[in-house]
Amino acid sequence: MAQRKERIDRGIKVRSDDVFVLTSWREMLYLAAPRVVPVVALFVLGLVAGPYWERVLISTCMFALLAISWDLLNSAGMVSLGQALFFGVGAYIAGTLNHYLGLPPGLTIPIATIGGGLLCTLALLPVLRLRGIYFAMVTLILPMMIERVIEATKIFGGTEGISGLSTLGNEHLEFWLAAVVVFVALFGFRRMMGADYGLLLKGINDNDRAVMSAGMNIYFYKAQALFMASAVGAFAGAFMTHAYQFVGMPVFALDYSMIPIASVAVGGMGTLAGPMLGSFILVPLSELLRGLGGLRVVIYAVILVVFTVGLPEGIFHYLSRKYNQFERWVGVER
């Protein structure tokens, strides 16, 4: 007899959009676990990790922010190949403010976040009308251009960069701050995407002309999404500048554009949580493989291919399906 797979939503008993009627501890746990477990897990990891792995976790958090920022942009119909632009601009703003004006990280990071967001939004404003690959091309080129400008004009330390910047205080504080910000961004943006505002952004992604013909100025909304995404990226850059006590041309490197995209591919697009999960797999993995020397990149690439071929929808989509639905094989009568 032929069989087919049947999927049934696990769902809780009474549910209407945002209102849940909880009837048991089990149901509350069912809802809370996917949110609480990752938070607890990350903080525990931070407690047990030694100084080296704590630093890895910090940079993982920053890559996670870049990946979340990529996914947010993508949800509003903008494909970015240049997360390094946001990261680098934030990094240089924080670095120069700290080095030349002597501002403490407590000031440079917020200024770099808002200022970097505004600067990147302004820089990309003229190309907001471009769609798909054309927008992506511009985002790819901008960080490379800035890199060459710094090299040629020798501003902000030129090829040497600026070193000896202030730290945030101690390592633990850095980790806790990074972890809190990453979760605030994750849950905040997820909530936003679920609300009416997110509905609009998704609408723009699916069919921008239809949103326009509903009387909405899509460029205004796209600019807002762009600002949010670039501010998140700029925060990551500013934070890393102070964590490394250094800012230089490598902040515009392709790594900061590509690893977030790889994280999205592995984790699952359009969920914000998927990209974060992706970074938490890829970045520590690349550290683990460091001992392999030259073969590191090859093995890294193989793992990436295995993930994307094996689970093209992304790990997060797969996990959430397994979590939210019963699956069983049922006979089909012919």
Partner 1 sequence: MKGEVILQAENLSRYFGGVKAVDGVSFSLRRNEVLGVIGPNGSGKTTLANLLTGFVKPSKGKVIFEGHDITNLPPYKVADRGIARSFQMVKPFYQLPAFKNLNVALLSPRVRRLAGGRYGDRDAMAKDLLEEVGFERDSWVISHQAASLPHGYLKRLELAKCMALQPEVIVLDELFSGLSLAEVASLVPVIEKLVHQGKTLVMIEHRLRELFRIADRVLVLNFGQKIAEGEPAQVMEDPQVKGAYLGSEAEE
How buried is 113 (Cβ within 10 angstroms: 0-12 exposed, 13-18 middle, 19+ buried)? Answer: buried
β-bridge partners, 246: 163
Q: According to the binding rule CB under 8 A, does residue 212 interact with partner 1? A: yes
Q: Where are the alpha helices (DSSP H) in the chain?
A: 25-48, 51-75, 83-100, 105-124, 132-153, 171-194, 196-206, 208-212, 218-244, 255-267, 273-288, 296-310, 315-324
Residue closer to partner 1 (CB basis): 210 or 305? 210
Q: According to the binding rule CB under 8 A, does residue 218 interact with partner 1? A: yes
Alpha carbon distance 246, 253 (integer Å): 15
Q: According to the binding rule CB under 8 A, does residue 268 interact with partner 1? A: no
Q: According to the binding rule CB under 8 A, does residue 301 interact with partner 1? A: no
Task: Report which of 168, 140, 157, 176 is spatially closest to residue 49, judged by C-alpha positions.
Answer: 176
E runs forming strands in 17-169: 19-21, 162-163
Sequence letter at residue 33: A
C-alpha distance from residue 145 to each of 82, 132, 155, 180, 283 (Å): 11, 21, 14, 33, 26
Q: According to the binding rule CB under 8 A, does residue 273 interact with partner 1? A: no
Q: According to the binding rule CB under 8 A, does residue 213 interact with partner 1? A: yes
Q: According to the binding rule CB under 8 A, does residue 206 interact with partner 1? A: yes
Structure tokens given for 1 = 């007899």
Considering only 130-138, 146-154, 199-207, 308-316, which stretch makes contact with partner 1 by CB under 8 A? Answer: 199-207
Here's the x/- map for partner 1, 230-259, by CB under 8 A: it reads as ------------------------------
Query: Which residue in the set 203, 237, 268, 278 belongs to the binding site for partner 1 (CB under 8 A)?
Result: 203
Q: According to the binding rule CB under 8 A, does residue 196 interact with partner 1? A: yes
What minimum distance in Å lies between the beta carbon of 132 and partner 1?
A: 15
Q: According to the binding rule CB under 8 A, does residue 199 interact with partner 1? A: yes
Q: Are 63 and 280 in contact (CB under 8 A)?
A: no
Here's the x/- map for partner 1, 155-194, by CB under 8 A: it reads as ----------------------------------------
Q: According to the binding rule CB under 8 A, does residue 28 interact with partner 1? A: no
Q: According to the binding rule CB under 8 A, does residue 78 interact with partner 1? A: no
Alpha carbon distance 116, 231 (integer Å): 6
Q: According to the binding rule CB under 8 A, does residue 76 interact with partner 1? A: no
Q: According to the binding rule CB under 8 A, does residue 202 interact with partner 1? A: yes
Structure tokens given for 242 = 């102070």
Alpha carbon distance 94, 119 (integer Å): 13
**What's the number of CA atoms in the CB half-sphere (13 Å) around residue 204?**
31
Q: According to the binding rule CB under 8 A, does residue 126 interact with partner 1? A: no
Considering only 60-68, 208-216, 237-245, 261-269, which stretch makes contact with partner 1 by CB under 8 A? Answer: 208-216
Site for partner 1, rule CB under 8 A: 17, 196, 199-200, 202-203, 205-207, 209-218, 270
